[in-house]
Structure 1
């Protein structure tokens, strides 16, 4: 077999391998995709889909939740929506918590706070806690935070400030009572400035080599964009086991 035929055979093998891997991955996740249809993918840590939060409150909460994770590894996420699609609020919140893997893997120390703020009707909320922090953030404790911080601010017409105080109360409780080393989300990556774990990086390298061959090196022009760390991390830590917490309406 001459060199040209060998080259074509290698390319075909690589392409077939990638196609098979993608197909297996698709069939493996198909059931989960059905379960989580219509459930959003969150960015760490604050996700305001309605525009409820004041800009200063949004920035403060983003910085505060970052501090909490770096200090003791707990992950707090906030989601504000105006509808939950075909789900009731409780199911929507729990599946969002599970899908996004909020909390560290093996610790399940995540918290998700979902506010449903429709154009017409009552404001409702659901706080979901991971198994690893459910004793610290019991329903009784969370109700106390709601009555002390959230509801009084809402009664004064300042939902943004009420949500901010509520998240701060949750975070400070975890900061005081949850004992764990901090977590730098970028430490889990083999190459710190590329947000890919081991197997993702291996697939990326194979595909990138193939594209380099096919495009005769032109894909190399994308390197400055691919290796930019950017302004934030890519996702949560892989926890997401839980269901305790609190709920309310106003």
Structure 2
């Protein structure tokens, strides 16, 4: 009997404890779950609202999503490079996963201003931005092309040429169709002629090397070989070609000395003057501005903005 009474008493105390602690446990569980949900929501919101960096402009087509094949990118880059060279206007395409906290309009403007598409003072640049995950796109038009591509026309290109292809999942076809329409309008616009690409002696390797070969006739063999080798290596970034140039310069120097082109007096002068001039010309020609870089819109296979700005015109859309 006593055991039964003790068990009943223990059971009563257990029920009392459970009565008091059950609400407390429930409250704690709700707090923990609420905190976890808040953290998850905050993390997701932070991920969605982070600022998306503007990529560096290297080619006229920049795809950060892997959507466009290498062949499509190569085709577009070649076309847009020709447009830049023949017309002077610049058209760039950017495909990103998302614009983050920016609207498609503000992000496109930010990219345009950083890339500086179009020529300075003419502002004949156009930017096509596609944000795949956001399912939004924007055609941003420079002030100088707002007559050729007004807002209404940009909107029609989006609605009639680009987004129908996007809705079918063919993003490459949509971008190609948009570029076709924009390029046609730009080529039909009267714009200032592009600056003629300089075909000076700086762009002709033979024209650059011939004076150096002539100088080699009048300077000591070692100086001629060293100056020619260093110059050619800096200009062409080719060690085998630099070695060949050094050997040729050494041979020319020996020929010059054999026929009396470079005596002792001329050797002294060359050590102080011509040799130093050879090195100076080599470094200046190899790495200085202009050299072999081709400082226009396309140089060395890459793209660069011409200093243009956006006029705020264009249109946006979705699919």
2:164 to 119, 143, 152: 152
Residue aligning to 1:134: 146
Q: Which residue of 1 aligns with 2:315?
A: 246
Query: Is the aligned partner of 1:48 residue 2:117?
Result: no
User: Cα 1:70–1:123, aligned 2, differ >3 Å: closer, same or farther?
Assistant: same
| Structure 1 CA distance for aligned equivalents of residues 117 and 139 of structure 2 | 12
Work out the CA distance in 2 between the residues paired with 1:234 and 1:151: 27
Contact 2:60/2:303, CA 8 A, preserved across alignment: no
- Higher mean C-alpha displacement, 146-155 vs 223-232: 223-232
Once residues 187 and 145 of structure 2 are traced to their aligned partners in structure 1, the CA distance between those partners, rounded to angstroms, is 11
Q: TM-score, normalised by structure 2?
A: 0.52
In structure 2, list runs of 5 or more residues that go unmatched: 1-50, 205-226, 238-286, 294-298
Query: 3-state SS of the aligned residue for 1:70?
Result: helix
Does residue 1:224 correspond to 2:236, yes or no? yes
Q: Verify: 1:76 aligned to 2:91, yes or no.
A: yes
Q: Is 1:102 equivalent to 2:117 in the alignment?
A: yes
Q: Secondary structure at the match of 1:94?
A: helix
Counterpart residue number, 2:188:
176
Given the alignment, which residue of 59, 65, 71 partners 2:74?
59
What is the Cα deviation at residue 247 of structure 1? 0.4
CA distance in 2, matches of 1:74, 1:188: 21
Contact (CA 8 Å) 1:133, 1:178: kept in 2 or not? no
**2:76 match: secondary structure:** helix
Deviation at 1:219, TM superposition (A): 8.2
Displaced runs of 4 or more, over 6 A: 217-220
Q: In proportion to residue count, which structure has more helix?
A: 2
Deviation for aligned residue 1:183: 4.6
The offset of 1:59, in angstroms, is: 1.7
Q: Give the paired residue count.
A: 189
CA contact (8 A) 2:138 2:315 kept: yes
TM-score normalised over the length of structure 1: 0.66
State whether residues 157 and 181 of structure 2, in contact with CA within 8 Å, keep that contact through their aligned partners in structure 1: yes
- Give the SS at the match of 2:181: helix
In structure 1, the residue matched to 2:305 is 236
Bigger CA radius of gyration? 2
Partner of residue 167 from structure 1, selected from 179, 187, 197: 179
CA distance in 1, matches of 2:57, 2:203: 22
Inter-partner Cα distance in structure 2 for 1:73 and 1:189: 20
Counterpart residue number, 1:14: none
Are residues 1:124 and 2:145 paired? Answer: no
Distance 2:302 2:72 in 1: 20
What is the CA RMSD across the aligned residues, in angstroms?
A: 3.0
